Amino acid sequence: MRALRNLSLGSCRIATSFTYRAPTHSLVASLARDRATAAARARPNRHLSPKAIGPLHASSLSPTLLTALAAVAVLLAAVSYSAIDRPTGTVHEPETTNAALQESLAMPAEVAPGRPGNLTPEEEEKLRKLWALVFQICAVTPEDRGVNTTGAGEAETEATKDADGDRLEPAAADKTKKKRLGLFSRKGKKDADADSVTSKRSASGAITPIKESEDDKYGQTKHFFDTLASQSPESIRATIWSMVKHDHPDALVLRFLRARKWDVDKALVMLVSTMNWRAHGMHVDDDIMKNGEAAAVEGEQGTDAQAKQLGHDFMAQIRMGKSFLHGVDKSGRPICVVRVRLHKQGEQCEESLEKYTVYIIETARMVLTPPVDTAVSILASAYLGATLADHTRAQTVVFDMTSFSMANMDYTPVKFMIKCFEANYPESLGAVLVHKAPWIFQGIWKIIRGWLDPVVANKVHFTNNAKEMEEFIEPSRILKELEGGEDWEYSYVEPIPGENDKMKDTATRDKLLSEREHIYKEFEEATLRWLQEPEGDAAQAHKKQREEIAKKMHEDYWKVDPYIRARSLYDRIGMLKPNGEVDYYPAGPSPGASSSGAGPGNVEAVVTTADDVD
């Protein structure tokens, strides 16, 4: 197989130089066959055409429709994504325990298609291709990881041959290898403009112009090349591993492949664009999750006007319980409740709304247990309409339309939420329950349904009472406020002094991160070997090794976690354990109770409810 592969991305052509013996002759030809295969399968298009939606402008939408759009935004803010390889969460049964639910939770859950452990040969090949390209971008080479580039049983590799297949002398081969690695370089605007009119040779030999993808709604191809031009390979690599956290690395990468219908080049563009957004747009891991609730409280009590407003607005949403995590559905998926009636337009600044949204999404990732890689969201109003279009593919959403008024309508977070989930949190939703929808929603739903792909629309279910909701959630698990049997109410436990003291121990943090870096390199090395030997007994051995390393990576994360992530409400109440185990029904502090060891000296926990928030 040729070592040089040309990958068309948007308006530019990228030449990649990674060498491994995949059962294809070139990546371009492989991608062409992949697209042809996908077309032959006639899979339903799970993506909404940007042309079908059109631009969203407040001036062009009716107040009723804006209401629905605002509802969608809050829903998506609460929904999280990511498949996490961790021990099964613990469930404390309420008094109305249903034995059938216990039995269902105890049974091994089936791994959904397209996830680690359930890939077709074609999907596995796509996964290898994407890893190869990720390594290209991150400058992860076989030489750096000590992987022998000469295959077992072969005296020479494709890398030691020229374009015509003739053997190169060692010096020439080394020069060619360096040149190929150099081909995957950052490009300036001039180069990008030149590439936009470059042509490529199709499988039939005809010359066809390279065009930017028509469904590149958010200009991710441009963001992709901007990232390559402005960020070092090491920086991109660090952001990818930072996002993995306790997840299986394959699970994260596969989300982008599924979101782009197994189109490898589009998945790569989306993944790299997302990494830039996380690191340099939202500062997810070095600000939002690192500083967390305690820093927001400190900010609102400080003297800096901007920090004071951001801290106050951020904490107001958490204290009132605009959204929260509690319980599981019949499939064992964690439930995220968003009570939209608590949202009032203009009460919080836009930046705090965005940070709160990302904080909820990222926090919810922590309580997913394998093989569940989605969450259930129960929303308490019509707040969620528009953003369902692309994001009901993987999570279950319940709309409780009770007590909604026009005061709850807010367009501000809509555009952010749509872009956030479509561009940066792919494959996040699974099913949608619209609970007690008011009559005005009938017309809105007709519009929304027209936007949805039939596959997504079929996941939307309307419920008018708790009895109908029982098809998805056990009666004893439905909250009392939703007319169910669980007598539980949300109450917020304030940050406890000293709960983040480990984050001050930078020496231990750096030591743990250094050890974790070694695990990253182990996984990369095993993956490189798998890319070189994708078939036979050797491939099975490499895959087994990768799984063992991924498990070690998951377990190791929880050693590092208290040094890099501020404690959250769910750490304080015992839902999220220090070792990563999850108790979906923790006893937790109740109003007037004390903290159960969440901080030094068992400081009394201050509990806040929505009634306490101005």
| Cα gap 484→409, rounded to integer Å | 27
- Asked if 303 and 258 count as a contact pair (C-beta separation under 8 A), the reply is no
DSSP type of residue 602? G
Tokens of 148: 């022998």
Give the DSSP per-residue string, 154-179.
-S--GGGB-TTSPBPPHHHHHHHHHH
Residue 439 per-residue DSSP state: T
Indicate the class that CATH gives domain 112-141+213-281: mainly alpha
The confidence score (pLDDT) of residue 174 equals 45
Contact 111, 547 (CB under 8 A): no
Give the residues across from 323 on adjacent strands: 338
CA 563 – CA 512 distance, rounded (Å): 9
* Choices 3.30.420.10, 3.40.50.300, 3.40.525.10, 1.10.3720.10: CATH for 322-482: 3.40.525.10
Omega cis (within 30) before 249: no
What gap in Å lies between CA 568 and CA 561, rounded to an integer?
12
How far is the C-alpha of 613 from the C-alpha of 491, rounded, in Å?
Answer: 11
Could you tell me which of 59, 71, 138, 17 has the C-alpha nearest to residue 386? 71
d(CA 289, CA 39): 41
Amino acid type, 504? K
Q: What pLDDT, on the 0 to 100 scale, is given for residue 375? A: 52
Please give the Cα distance from 227 to 374 (Å, whole number): 29
pLDDT at 534: 96
Nearest to 557 by CA among 529, 502, 526, 517: 517
For tokens 């494959």, name the residue: 427
Structural contact between residues 534 and 22, judged by C-beta atoms closer than 8 angstroms: yes
Q: How far is CA 369 from CA 1, 81, 221, 288, 482, in A?
A: 40, 11, 33, 23, 25
Confidence (pLDDT) at 29: 42
Across 481-524, where does the E strand assignment appear?
Answer: 492-493
The residue among 485, 494, 446, 447 whose CA lies nearest residue 466 is 485
- Rg (Cα) of the chain, in Å, rounded? 25
* Backbone angle region of 117, left / alpha / beta, with phi > 0 → left and psi within -120 to 50 → alpha: left
CB within 8 Å of 206: residues ≥ 6 apart = none
Distance spanning both ends of the chain, measured CA to CA:
66
C-alpha pair distances (Å), 558 with each of 97, 147, 555:
31, 29, 6
Looking at residue 532, what is its pLDDT?
96
> Contact at 8 Å (CB) between 270 and 220?
yes
pLDDT at 587: 83
Place of tokens 């990563």: 580
The candidate with the shortest Cα–Cα distance to 318, out of 345, 335, 303, 296, is 296
Question: DSSP alpha helices (H): ranges in 534-605?
Answer: 536-564, 569-572
pTM above 0.75, yes or no: no
Name the 3-class secondary structure at 434: strand
**Cα 412 from chain centre:** 22
378 strand-pairing partners: 337, 398
Note the pLDDT of residue 120.
97
- Per-residue pLDDT, 148: 78
Q: How many CB atoms lie within 10 A of CB 90?
A: 15
pLDDT at 451 (0 to 100)? 59
d(CA 11, CA 211): 5
Strands, sheet with 323-328, edge to edge from the N-terminal-most edge strand: 323-328, 334-338, 376-379, 396-400, 432-435, 460-463
Give the phi and the psi of residue 16 in degrees, each rounded to 5: -105, 155
Alpha-carbon dihedral of residues 464, 470, 471, 473, nearest 10 degrees?
A: 120
Average pLDDT along the chain, 614 residues, taken 10 residues at a time: 41 41 39 44 38 37 43 42 39 43 48 91 98 97 82 39 42 39 38 37 31 72 95 98 96 93 96 97 97 98 96 97 86 79 89 93 82 51 30 49 70 64 74 73 68 62 87 90 91 97 98 98 98 96 98 97 98 96 80 36 50 51
User: Which residue has 């939408």 as its token pair?
Assistant: 61
Q: What is the predicted pLDDT for the residue at 574?
A: 96
